[in-house]
Amino acid sequence: MLMMMVIPGHVIFAYALHLLRGSSTELSNPFFLPIYVSAAFIQVTILIYSGSVLVRLLWRMGADPDNSAIPLLTALGDLLGSLLLALAFYCFYSLVVAQ
């Protein structure tokens, strides 16, 4: 269910940002949105898998997964989000500016 919400959620977010910021966003270029949504999809995929593995590992170690997994997954989500967004902008500028 979470995977099915990634694409519509980010498209709605990007469209709302475009409405609020006007034409000063990168959404005026047709290449940016697919790259951005792909990065978001990769992030959520990695986080869901990591969460599943981490909760099982913490459970076996005797730690409470509620208290231990949430901070680790939040930190991983921040790191992945920053890295993938930077990679998305790099790919976008490589496609658009390099041409």
Cα angle vertex 83, ends 80, 86, to 5°?
145
Is the per-residue pLDDT at 99 higher than 70? no
> What is the pTM for the complete model shown?
0.83
Least confident range from 10-14, 39-43, 45-49, 82-86: namely 10-14
- Mark residue 62 as left, alpha or beta (left: phi above 0; alpha: psi -120 to 50; beta: remaining): left
pLDDT in tens, 6-41: 999 988 988 888 788 766 666 667 888 899 999 999
